[in-house]
Each structure stands twice: as C-alpha cells, then as structure tokens.
Amino acid sequence: MVPLVAVVAVPRAQLFACLLRLGTQQVGPLQLHTGASHTARKHYEVLVLGGGSGGITMAARMKRKVGAENVAVVEPSEISYRYLIIALGIQLDYEKIKGLPEGFAHPKIGSNYSVKTVEKTWKALQDFKEGNAVFTFPNTPVKCAGAPQKIMYLSEAYFRKTGKRSKANIIFNTSLGAIFGVKKYADALQEIIRERNLTVNYKQNLIEVRADKQEAVFENLDKPGETQVISYEMLHVTPPMSPPDVLKTSPVADAAGWVDVDKETLQHKRYPNVFGIGDCTNLPTSKTAAAVAAQSGILDRTISLIMKNQTPTKKYDGYTSCPLVTGYNRVILAEFDYKAEPLETFPVDQSKERLSMYLMKADLMPLLYWNMMLRGYWGGPAFLRKLFHLGMS
C-alpha cells in the first residue's frame, strides 16, 4: 500500500496550505497547481485528499490509469500534484447543540453517527422502560439522510418484539418540512408512520440537550425563538453537519464551504485540474455511498478525458440511493436523481416494503462496497437499470 497511500501526520489546519495558493492564479486546463517544487517522491500525478469511501474509490480507479506509484491518498500535508481529487467527507458538529457532546456521558442518549456513541443507542433501547423515545433530524445537510428515521423504525420494531411498544411514545422531530424529499417514497413512509402510530413533528430543530434532566429543547423553525422542551426516556441525536473546517475558508469552496464543482462532470468550477466527490461537494443530491459510487464512474471518465486534453462528455444525473430499513426484515429502496424523481433499478415498485430489498441491503451491498466499490470496480447500478427496464417505459 505504500506506493498508493501516503499518510502524513501533521495538524489538519495545514491540509489546505497548498490549496490556499490556488486563489492567486488562474490557469489553463492542464497547467499545474503546486504548493511546492517537484522533489523525489513528493510529487504525484494524482493527489486524493481524504481516505473515506470517495477517496479510496477514486484512488483505486486512478491507480489503474497512471500506476500506483503515481497516486497518493493524503491525510493531511502539502504534496505537489497535477490533478487533485478532494474527498474529505462531512464534519459532525455535536458541539453546536448546547449540552453536547458532554451529555453523552449520561444514560438514555445515543447517536448512530459516531463510533463513540452508537453503542449508547443500543443501551438506551435495552434500558427503555416507559415514556418518550425521541429521534431528531438537524437543520443542516447530513450524510445518509434516511438514517435518522431508520433507527426510529428499528426501535419501534424492537419495542414490539420486547413487549414495550404500548409503553413507548415514539416521536420524530425533524427540521425538514417533509418526511422524505421524493414524494413517491414520502407517501409510502407516511403510511407506515400512520400504521405504527408514530408522531412526526416538522420544522423542529434540536438546539439543547439537558442530559442530567433527560430533556431535549427544540426550536420551531417556522417561529424563530419559540422553543419546546420534551422529556425523554430515550433520545437519539443526529448531529448538525458541515463541510470540514479546512475546506470552509479554502478557495476551492463555495460560499457555504462545500467544494464548488460542476454538477454534471464533478470538475471544479474555477480550477480545471481540481475535482470533488462525495459528501464534501455542493452537488445538489443526497449524500450517500450510493451517490459516491455513481459519481466515481463519472469522475473516472471526466479525468480520463481531461488527461487526454479532451472535453468531458459523461454527465452525472444526481443518482443516489437510500435503503430505508423499516423493520427487522423489510426495506424500501429509494433511488432518485437531481430532480427528486425516482430512478429505480428494478422493474418493481420500490416504494413497497420488501424482504428482497432487505436481503440485498444486508448481504449484497456490503459485498459491493468492500470488494468492488472501494477497489474501483463499481460505478453504480445504471447498467443494471438499463438491462432490467429493457423495452419498458
């Protein structure tokens, strides 16, 4: 792995020292952006910033094009490059909620978004006796936007299984104005919510946790300043999220701090040898691993053409997917595009809860992720969609 992965342990604040210089010059499509002179083993043909799903996937793809010795995955440092791929992911901002993260030291509260707190979710479920089980969705973009409600459905199923359902008042407080951004799937989820007697409150943003009192404070986004305090027996927190701090003031970022890329080619709008993929970009689609897979195939083709001094032609349509786990053995497989229109792979109604989709989520998707996507061989199910829908409208 040494020829492919270069991991340099210096403070994260230095990560974009080289990128900060980008704003001082305008360059042609293939001119170098470098933060240091070329030295042995310190210059790479392709530099990938970030070692998550997007970074590893693109590094694997680029390795096959320019050789492993010419690709580096960096976290973080200055290294000169000819092409830069930014795949820094998204930042969890628990501290933006008053009382967190220190509140996690108390029982009855957890969060599936951190390895430090995910087991506390399970403990809170096991210890639940009677009262409010509260689940939240923040007033920011998030990764895997279905996860905050997946844990609600799974918790409800657990309460039924353990005979606690009649003692549980399940509440989903979301900052959004709808349960899901695609109407087809939103309608299906609303039916599940009705059938299972779940309470959903919209435009409610968690702003404070009083863990010692088991109280959560929400602001009404329709009436700023108006708050509501809810006592809980269990609280699952989805934290606010944002671009990584090192990106927010970088010249590669837009006004909101996300990597500013063309939504069809994933090429940077101002620096033509810079590219972005995944959660750190301003692509107007849901931030999921499925989106990264589809983006990786497009970005692969984009960079390949640019390396040949040609114009990118393949366009990303915003494909993303969210397998909505609605019970122990059922999934609604939501797939959609930039227009928030369904873009389904299978010739069945995917808004229905299905065991088959659950088995695919539980057994097939991990294999695709670890053995194909992260090795640069999976660019999403577009080819399967064409095959399964052959001759169908």
pLDDT for residue 80: 78
Q: Per residue in 255-281, pLDDT tens? A: 999 999 999 999 999 999 999 999 999
* 100 and 232 assigned to the same domain: yes
227-231/215-220 β-pairing: antiparallel
* 289 and 207 assigned to the same domain: no
* 124 and 261 assigned to the same domain: no
Instruction: Give me the active site residues, please.
Output: 144, 322
Residue 213 in domain: yes
Which residue, 190, 223, 242, sits at the end of a domain? 242
Q: Which residues contact 127 (CB under 8 A, 6 or more apart)?
A: 107, 108
- For range 78-97, the mean pLDDT: 92
| Residue 302 banded pLDDT, cuts 50, 70, 90 | very high
Residue 301 in domain: yes
| Residue 27 banded pLDDT, cuts 50, 70, 90 | very low
End-to-end CA distance of the chain: 46
For 20-24, 32-36, 252-256, 324-328, which range has the lowest pLDDT when averaged over its residues?
32-36
Residue 284 burial (10 A CB sphere; 0-12, 13-18, 19+): exposed
* 174 and 317 assigned to the same domain: no
* Distance separating alpha carbons of residues 319 and 341, to the nearest angstrom: 10
* 224 and 139 assigned to the same domain: yes
3-state secondary structure at position 163: coil
- For range 344-370, the mean pLDDT: 97
Q: Which residues contact 329 (CB under 8 A, 6 or more apart)?
A: 355, 358
* 159 and 135 assigned to the same domain: yes
Are 203 and 173 contacting, i.e. CB atoms less than 8 angstroms apart?
no
| Number of structural domains found in the chain | 2
Q: What percentage of residues in the chain have a pLDDT greater than 70?
A: 88
* Distance separating alpha carbons of residues 159 and 285, to the nearest angstrom: 33
* 133 and 224 assigned to the same domain: yes
CATH of the domain at 237: 3.50.50.60
What is the pTM assigned to this prediction?
Answer: 0.86
| Residue 32 banded pLDDT, cuts 50, 70, 90 | very low
Residue 374 in domain: yes
Q: Per residue in 107-159, pLDDT tens? A: 999 999 999 999 999 999 999 999 999 999 999 999 999 999 999 999 999 99
Residue 141 in domain: yes
* Distance separating alpha carbons of residues 4 and 58, to the nearest angstrom: 12
CA 74-285-200 angle, to 5 degrees, is: 115
95: tokens are 């501290």
- Identify which has the larger pLDDT, 5 or 342: 342
Residue 300 in domain: yes
Give exposure, 317-340, as e/b (b: 16+ Cβ within 10 Å). Answer: bbbbbbbbbbbeebbbbbbbbbeb
Residue 358 in domain: yes
| Residue 17 banded pLDDT, cuts 50, 70, 90 | very low
Residue 113 in domain: yes
Residue 169 has pLDDT above 60, yes or no: yes
pLDDT for residue 16: 44
Residue 321 in domain: yes
Neighbours of 248 (CB within 10 A): 14
* 300 and 173 assigned to the same domain: no
Which residue, 223, 242, 261, sits at the end of a domain? 242
Residue 9 has pLDDT above 60, yes or no: no
Domain range holding 98?
91-242
pLDDT for residue 30: 31
* 96 and 209 assigned to the same domain: yes
* 226 and 301 assigned to the same domain: no
CA-wise closest residue to 170 among 195, 147, 146:
195
Which residue, 208, 242, 276, sits at the end of a domain? 242
Adjacent-strand bridge partners of 331: 325, 354
pLDDT for residue 13: 39
Q: Per residue in 186-223, pLDDT tens? A: 999 999 999 999 999 999 999 999 999 999 999 999 99
Place of tokens 């001082």: 24
* 211 and 184 assigned to the same domain: yes
User: Helices marked H in the chain — which ranges?
Assistant: 17-20, 53-66, 118-127, 147-161, 183-195, 245-248, 289-307, 355-359, 365-368, 382-388
pLDDT for residue 175: 98
Mean pLDDT of the residues in the chain: 89
| Residue 77 banded pLDDT, cuts 50, 70, 90 | low
* 144 and 278 assigned to the same domain: no
| Residue 36 banded pLDDT, cuts 50, 70, 90 | very low
pLDDT for residue 365: 96
pLDDT for residue 76: 53
